[in-house]
Amino acid sequence: MPELPEVETVRRTLAYQLGHPQIADVAVRWPRIVADISATDFTAALINQTIREYKRIGKYLLFVLDDYILVSHLRMEGKYYVQRPSEPFDPKHTHLIISFTDGRELRYHDTRKFGRFYLYERQADIRCQKALAHCGYDVFDERLNGKVLYDRLHSRRITLKQALLDQSVMAGIGNIYADEICFAMRLDPETPIAVLSAADDERLLAHARRILQAAIECGGTTIRSYTSSLGVDGRFQLKLQVHAKADEPCPCCGTLIRKKRVATRGTYYCPKCQRKRIR
DNA sequence: CCTATCACCTGCAGGC
DNA sequence: TGCCTGCAGGTGATAG
């Protein structure tokens, strides 16, 4: 389940592995993977374009082309593979194949077909396009600070965990790192976000950045489905403190980690270290 | 505007 | 063995 660190790892890996190839052909094998435009128009636009840059905003991966920006969201299980045409692929789960003039192929694999591709004109303001219109500042965006978070959060009636998962507040955190950030804050994930002060929000952002940065340096975290296109899979995992650790001892106090449901998401926490603050 | 719920998908685990 | 149910979860649409 790719979150910001995993998408960043994919971005760096593809930039290193693919470079700047020119697109020769595109095969859309599952048309619904392309949002808003037809597979035919999508394919026609991409042919002859060269990949100029690889960018990322939150969990969105951006391929900057000559005339377009190809936006990719991996959602739950999207993965990329760079392979030769002669190499076999999984026909059931490979939904997009981009062929390059140098003979290589970029293959998009997604077991559950949740991922999406969007295509926008390069000169358009990407942040105004449909895919990113409701996306807030990236966690590492320098415009983001505790005051900005406080202004956006203190009057809302949602929990800390919901706030962390709300991409319009700050973009890039998913279910795994949300639990890790709640643990770092020593707060119950169900703590009302409105009880946090601006200083608390500053600490929240600092923890988020520290944890995500550590995960990036580990090459992303793997639980069950993420692999980078180089095949890096679980060998350099960030040590998770609480997520998916039900019935294991808390690394801080030894109390057994519990699992509960917060806003429909499976949520792991230490019942002793993480108290629910009321005011 | 704000919040809650469902749909989208498939694989897998657990119950019987 | 095999069928059925529930669960996993990011996002967008829809409902209230």
pLDDT in tens, A88-144: 999 999 999 999 999 999 999 999 999 999 999 999 999 889 999 999 999 999 999
Q: What separation in angstroms does the CA of A226 have from each of A54, A97, A126, A183?
A: 19, 19, 26, 23
How do residues A193-204 score in pLDDT, each as one tens digit?
Answer: 999 999 999 999
Residue of higher predicted confidence among A110 and A238: A110
Residues 47-66 of A with CB under 7 A from strand B: none
pTM: 0.94
Task: Name the nt closest to A176 by C-alpha to C1'.
Answer: C9
Annotation marks residue A2 as catalytic: yes
| A112 CB less than 7 Å from any atom of strand B | yes
φ, ψ of residue A46 in degrees (nearest 5): -75, -30
User: DSSP states of A136-199 as a string?
Assistant: -EETT-TT--HHHHHHHHTT---BHHHHHH-TTTEES--HHHHHHHHHHTTB-TTSBGGG--HH
- pLDDT-derived band at A221, boundaries 50, 70, 90: low
| Percentage of chain A modeled with pLDDT above 90 | 80
**How many angstroms is C1' of B9 away from CA of A14?**
26
